[in-house]
């Protein structure tokens, strides 16, 4: 572990055993339901991911489970290694001396899963669709003069003015990577979900075995040609060493842990912190923090509908919320969480906590109530969406709902599974007609570490991330950041963005926490990085 954010302990996996261990070990003898029917051979990896998979289009949603699915079956033109250096992946690249022309040349051997060759036309259509949805992609296309396939292997991207971060944005590992699809698929309007799932990545999607929200199966794509370089984060050779990977859903944390301890599954993406002693006691398991920067958890309000179309009411809501209460309920063990009011994440170059004093000091229900009355709140119900099947998202709605009620809000907390929430949050309907007012989500800190990639720091109204703030001042600040000359100038603009975002309550940062993954010792050579990927991994007997 190379870096621990402020407030995190470096001994995150050396917790002392306690009475809880004895009780937990006793509980671990519970029988795992036979209905899981999990394949257990040396060439199949069975994994319990943080959520079931329902949405299969990785461009129309920023849900991590859909992004993870995207990396299984699609590939990208360029990618970053562990030092965040841009590397060729599907294509090599060149930049003209004036910074206006980017040329990407596809490497040999690229095939889609249906046997058709990948062409530059496929890449152009995929980039254009991605650019309509992604926050950073929108900025690039603002200054795009042309994007065209000049032959079957060459993509020429011409800008009207230099845009230095272009490669970094196209190569980013999240939140919406520009996955390359066949042109016929990528021509689907970005407001609609694709219905064909043909990629050119290291695994193919087994559609006939897909059970939405329950199970998804991937098979090794025998015709995939990896790069020659060693795998390094999202870059390098994606060499597949197993025949199949099966993701199965186990919403109950205890059931998933029992399954891993008993050998019914091979991998658990996110282990519940208070149940870690069960896993740590087993000599057959590896338990580790995958990403030392961890995740930021946050709340997002809907700017389109009352009551959060009113800035003062948004401010009252934020004033009522306590990071400590949220994190203590969500995580429990303070070794695994840290109070942090930085919208770009603590431990990052742009970290600044301006405007987060109330959040970090425990909230102020009395002041929030006074501001709510000043704003003329009329008891409009706040539809708060509560996912019930994701360990890292179950506590936030409950804690915040109570905080809002204490401040005088009329809260209507509605329970649903995460994939239903992911679908519903895209609706701009009024809350009474199937829309919403507030939901909670988590981002890995690298995903939000700058105003060019943080999906929520976007003031483009209907083109912005769910919640749809229309904020020209924020867009002007982002333009200043792009134009800033040097790190010092960018940092100064980032600090003003921090202050503006919390003043307008673009979203509510609720602090940082570490996630812990666990896997069978038979599962070796897993890449240590924020996105769980299954190339390079092998399974021994």
- Check whether residue 483 and residue 385 sit in a common domain: yes
Average pLDDT score over residue span 478-498? 94
Can you name the residues that pair with 92 across neighbouring β-strands?
A: 105
Instruction: For residue 149, tell me if it sits in a domain.
Output: yes
Average pLDDT (294-313) is 97
Q: Is residue 333 part of a domain?
A: yes
Give me the pLDDT at residue 276, please.
Answer: 92
Residues 281, 223, single domain; the answer is yes
Q: Which two tokens stand for residue 240?
A: 């597949």
- Does 152 or 252 have the greater pLDDT score? 152
The pair of three-digit structure tokens given for residue 298, joined into one six-digit string? 């946050």
Lowest mean pLDDT among 17-31, 84-98, 365-379: 17-31
At 498 the three-state DSSP class reads: helix
The stretches of 55-204 forming alpha helices (DSSP H) are 64-73, 120-133, 135-142, 166-171, 183-186
Q: Please indicate, yes or no, if residue 3 is contained in any of the structural domains.
A: no
Do 175 and 443 meet the contact criterion of CB atoms below 8 Å apart? yes
Cα angle at 68 between 64 and 70, to 5 degrees? 115
Q: What is the pLDDT of residues 361-385, one digit of tens each?
A: 999 999 999 999 999 999 999 999 9
Residue 5 lies in a domain: no
**Nearest by Cα to 359 from 450, 447, 298, 429:** 298
What integer pLDDT is reported at residue 18 of this predicted model?
33
Closest to 340 measured CA to CA, from 437, 443, 475, 418: 443
The strands making up 144-151's β-sheet, listed across from edge to edge, are 91-95, 101-106, 154-159, 144-151
Tell me 235's DSSP state.
B
Q: In whole angstroms, what is the distance from residue 473 CA to residue 456 CA?
A: 14
Residue 152: CATH number of its domain: 3.90.76.10
What is the span of the domain harbouring residue 131? Answer: 69-186
Q: Could you tell me if 267 and 362 lie in one domain?
A: no
The C-alpha atoms of residue 116 and residue 473 are separated, in whole angstroms, by 46
260 located within any domain: yes
Are residues 403 and 483 located together in one domain of the fold?
A: yes
Residues 144 and 254 in one domain: no
- As a residue count, the chain comes to 541
In this predicted structure, what is the pLDDT of residue 449? 92
pLDDT at 41 over 70: no
Domain count, the chain: 3
Which among 535, 539, 418 has a CA at the least distance from the CA of 73? Answer: 535
User: Which domain CATH number covers 250?
Assistant: 3.40.190.10
- Per-residue model confidence (pLDDT) at position 11: 31
Q: φ and ψ at 144, to 5 degrees?
A: -90, 125
Taking the C-alpha atoms of residue 441 and residue 174, their distance in angstroms, rounded to an integer, is: 15
Report whether the peptide linkage leading into residue 263 is cis, meaning its omega lies within 30 degrees of zero. no
Q: Could you check whether the bond before residue 181 is cis, i.e. omega within 30 degrees of 0?
A: no
Do residues 343 and 221 both lie within one domain?
Answer: no
């Amino acid at each position: 572990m190379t870096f621990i954010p402020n407030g995190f302990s470096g001994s995150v996996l050396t917790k002392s055993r306690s009475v809880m261990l004895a009780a937990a070990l006793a509980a671990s003898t519970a029988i795992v339901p036979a209905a899981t029917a999990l394949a257990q051979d040396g060439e199949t990896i069975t994994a319990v991911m943080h959520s079931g998979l329902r949405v299969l289009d990785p461009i129309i949603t920023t849900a991590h489970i859909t992004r993870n699915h995207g990396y299984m079956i699609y590939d990208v033109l360029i990618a970053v290694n562990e030092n965040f250096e841009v590397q060729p992946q599907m294509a090599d690249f060149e930049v003209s001396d004036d910074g206006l022309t980017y040329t990407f040349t596809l490497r040999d051997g690229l095939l889609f899963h249906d046997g058709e060759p990948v062409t530059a036309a496929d890449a152009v259509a995929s980039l254009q669709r991605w650019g309509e949805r992604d926050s950073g992609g929108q900025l690039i296309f603002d200054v795009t003069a042309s994007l065209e396939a000049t032959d079957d292997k060459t993509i020429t991207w011409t800008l009207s003015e230099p845009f230095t971060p272009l490669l970094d944005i196209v190569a980013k590992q999240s939140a919406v990577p520009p996955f390359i699809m066949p042109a016929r698929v990528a021509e689907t309007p970005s407001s609609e979900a694709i219905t064909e799932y043909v990629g050119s990545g290291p695994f193919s999607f087994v559609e006939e075995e897909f059970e939405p929200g329950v199970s998804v199966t991937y098979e090794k794509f025998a015709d995939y040609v990896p790069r020659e370089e060693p795998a390094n984060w999202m870059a390098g050779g994606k060499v597949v060493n197993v025949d199949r990977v099966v993701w199965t859903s186990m919403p109950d944390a205890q059931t998933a842990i029992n399954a891993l301890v008993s050998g019914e599954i091979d991998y658990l993406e996110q282990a519940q912190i208070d149940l870690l002693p069960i896993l740590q006691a087993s000599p057959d398991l590896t338990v580790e923090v995958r990403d030392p920067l961890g995740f930021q958890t946050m709340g997002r309000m809907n700017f389109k509908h009352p009551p959060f179309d009113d800035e003062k009411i948004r401010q009252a809501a934020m004033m009522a919320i306590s990071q400590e209460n949220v994190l203590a309920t969500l995580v429990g063990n303070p070794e695994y969480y840290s109070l942090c009011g930085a919208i770009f994440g603590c431990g990052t170059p742009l970290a600044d906590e301006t405007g987060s004093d109330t959040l970090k000091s425990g909230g102020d229900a009395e002041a929030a109530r006074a501001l709510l009355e000043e704003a003329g709140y009329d008891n409009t119900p706040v539809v708060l969406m509560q996912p019930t099947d994701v360990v890292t998202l179950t506590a936030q709605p409950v804690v915040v709902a109570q905080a809002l009620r204490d401040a005088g809000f009329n809260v209507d907390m509605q329970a649903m599974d995460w994939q239903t929430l992911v679908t519903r949050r895209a609706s701009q309907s009024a809350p009474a007609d199937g829309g919403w007012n507030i939901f909670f989500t988590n981002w890995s800190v690298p995903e939000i570490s700058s105003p060019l990639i943080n999906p929520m720091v976007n003031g483009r109204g209907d083109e912005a991330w769910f919640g749809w703030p229309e904020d020209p001042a924020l867009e002007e600040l982002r333009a200043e950041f792009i134009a800033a000359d040097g790190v010092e100038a960018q940092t100064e603009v980032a600090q003003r963005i921090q202050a503006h975002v919390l003043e307008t309550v673009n979203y509510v940062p609720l602090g940082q926490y570490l996630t812990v993954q666990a896997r069978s010792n038979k599962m070796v050579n897993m890449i240590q990085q924020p996105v769980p990927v299954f190339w390079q991994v092998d399974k021994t007997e």
